[in-house]
Amino acid sequence: MMVLMKREATQEQIEAVREAIHEHGMKSLPLPGGERMAIGIPSAIPPDLRPVLDTVLSAMDGVDQVIHISRPYKLASRDFHPHDTEISIGDVRIGNGHFVVMAGPCAVESYDQMIESAKAVKQAGAQILRAGAYKPRTSPYSFQGLQREGLEILKAVREEVGILTVSEVIDPHDVELVAQYVDILQIGARSMQNFPLLVSAGRSNKPVLLKRAPSATIDEWLASAEYLLTQGNEQVILCERGIVPIDRTYARNTLDINAVPIIKYHSHLPIVVDPSHGIGHARYVSSVALASVAAGADGLLIEVHPHPERALSDGAQSLTPEAFERLMAQIHAVRTALTPALAK
């Protein structure tokens, strides 16, 4: 539910509406707009309370109308937050017209591997280094990551190279630990609906990159983002990484390019695209990455490994540093074509 105030509504009238909402056991969220104030009720309202609130609030001084919002997400919706969210991490900004590239290997394998990767992706123009210390793998016999040792390597490389980091957390009990070492917490596709993990990550005060689960609808994905937002964490970045394909012969997943404009229409949260997982084969990654840029994505998450043939995980979809450098030049060309001001 959202209460739209009249243009001439006074601050006293606005506070009276908020107090009436609080008296009925609900929270209120001020939503200042260009010409008028709106007040949102972000949580679910019990069915028997809706008509009562509607009647009470509609009759209050300064109220223009009461709008009912039926979507399963509120705080992630443009109805509640009409302007694009911009996330600032150090000197890096994401969303609201600011484009970011996160790149690096699937997993932290060694200090030497990470130093080589970090220097290569930064030199090519990436602002954030990605790599997993904890790896949720389908098989228990696959490489599970270096875990705490991997986090320590990431932190050391971050300080030496001077680049931000993003890494996955898979257990609610590890959120505090991982947050001590990296700049952005990643919630992987397998964990999108791990609700205790979402709550813990939301309480961390760290930016969170939320990947879409392979079979998740847009509404389910945004509802997961809502778990983060309801904990007071407004630094949420969505990541499209492909959905279950009809044909696995040629691609690991089907990258849902549609999700980019759909999310940007319905939500204010920035959305980045992971073409590496979206297609699963290095030879196609650049084409899909450029399509994502053209679709309006706020950034890309790309796997880059100095020696893909020796990678302990996802080598088949990892670009070499040379291929990544070529892709970065192409990304700039596409963005310049779409936004000529970038060429100045």
Q: Is the pLDDT of residue 176 over 80?
A: yes
| Pair 277, 241: CB distance under 8 Å | yes
| Residues spanned by the domain of 282 | 87-343
**Domain shared by 147 and 55, yes or no:** no
| Pair 129, 158: CB distance under 8 Å | yes
Average pLDDT over the chain, rounded to an integer: 93
Please compute the mean of the pLDDT values over residues 206-228 and round it to a whole number: 96
Q: Is the pLDDT of residue 8 over 50?
A: yes
The three-class DSSP label of residue 307 is: coil
Question: Most confidently modeled of 32-36, 98-102, 145-149, 340-344?
Answer: 98-102
Ranking 47-51, 69-73, 260-264 by mean pLDDT, the lowest is 69-73
| Pair 266, 82: CB distance under 8 Å | no
In a domain, 72, yes or no: no
**Domain shared by 60 and 181, yes or no:** no
Q: If residue 317 lies in a helix (H) or strand (E), which one and from where to where?
A: none
Domain count, the chain: 2
In a domain, 82, yes or no: no
Condensed to tens digits (0 to 9), the pLDDT of residues 67-125 reads 887 777 888 999 888 899 999 999 999 999 999 999 999 999 999 999 999 999 999 99
Exposed e or buried b per residue across 73-85, where buried means at least 16 C-beta atoms within 10 angstroms of its C-beta:
bbbbbebbbeebb
**CATH assignment at residue 60:** 3.30.70
Q: Tell me the whole-structure pTM to 2 decimals.
A: 0.87
Q: Is the pLDDT of residue 344 over 60?
A: no
Condensed to tens digits (0 to 9), the pLDDT of residues 28-40 reads 988 776 677 889 8
CA distances from 290 to 227, 239, 273, 285, 327 (A): 31, 16, 10, 9, 8
